[in-house]
């Protein structure tokens, strides 16, 4: 079974440009998460999709970040316009259906390394 995949693996862009990251979750997983690790800091939650709906977007830093999950399959995270502080590693994770307040195991992708110059 294929794991969580992310594309691209690396992206180097200039400040002010737009970048779109893609995540393909494990097949059949309803839940999809985006996390980010800024250099020297901990991995931080950005948002959580259940199928195509945003369940929790409390970690999104500002309105330059737009996440979508059309059709409840893959997800994209767009940063527009990118700023220097957006540099970091963006991880996607997925899990099966949520069961009330039971924590489901999240499976992580390899991450997209974003560098904004």
Partner 1 sequence: QKEVEQDPGPLSVPEGAIVSLNCTYSNSAFQYFMWYRQYSRKGPELLMYTYSSGNKEDGRFTAQVDKSSKYISLFIRDSQPSDSATYLCAMSDGFQKLVFGTGTRLLVSP
- Tell me: does residue 107 bind partner 1 (CB under 8 A): yes
Min dist CB 58 to partner 1, Å, is 8
Describe the strand order of the beta sheet including 65-68 as a list of residue ranges: 5-7, 19-24, 75-79, 65-68
- Tell me: does residue 88 bind partner 1 (CB under 8 A): no
- Tell me: does residue 111 bind partner 1 (CB under 8 A): yes
Distance between CA atoms of residues 39 and 43, nearest Å:
9
User: Scanning the structure block, which residue is given the tokens 């393909």?
Assistant: 24
Min dist CB 97 to partner 1, Å, is 11
Interface with partner 1 in residues 24-53 (CB under 8 A): 31, 33, 35, 41-45, 48
Contacting residue, 58, 62, 63, 70, with partner 1 by CB under 8 A: 58
- Tell me: does residue 95 bind partner 1 (CB under 8 A): yes
Distance between CA atoms of residues 61 and 117, nearest Å:
19
Q: For residue 72, give both structure tokens.
A: 């409840």
> Which of these, 80, 39, 32, 40, lies nearest to 57 by C-alpha position?
32
**Of the ranges 11-19, 60-68, 73-81, 101-109, which one interacts with partner 1 (CB under 8 A)?**
101-109
């Amino acid at each position: 079974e294929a794991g969580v995949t992310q594309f691209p693996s690396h992206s180097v862009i200039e400040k002010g440009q737009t970048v779109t990251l893609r995540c393909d979750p494990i097949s059949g997983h309803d839940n999809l998460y985006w996390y980010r690790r800024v250099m020297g800091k901990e991995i931080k939650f950005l948002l959580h999709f259940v199928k195509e709906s945003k369940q929790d977007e409390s970690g999104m830093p500002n309105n330059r970040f737009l996440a979508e999950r059309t059709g409840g399959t893959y997800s994209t995270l767009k940063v527009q316009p990118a700023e220097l502080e957006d540099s970091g590693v963006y991880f996607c994770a997925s899990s099966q259906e949520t069961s009330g307040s039971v924590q489901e195991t999240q499976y992580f992708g390899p991450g997209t390394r974003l560098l904004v110059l």
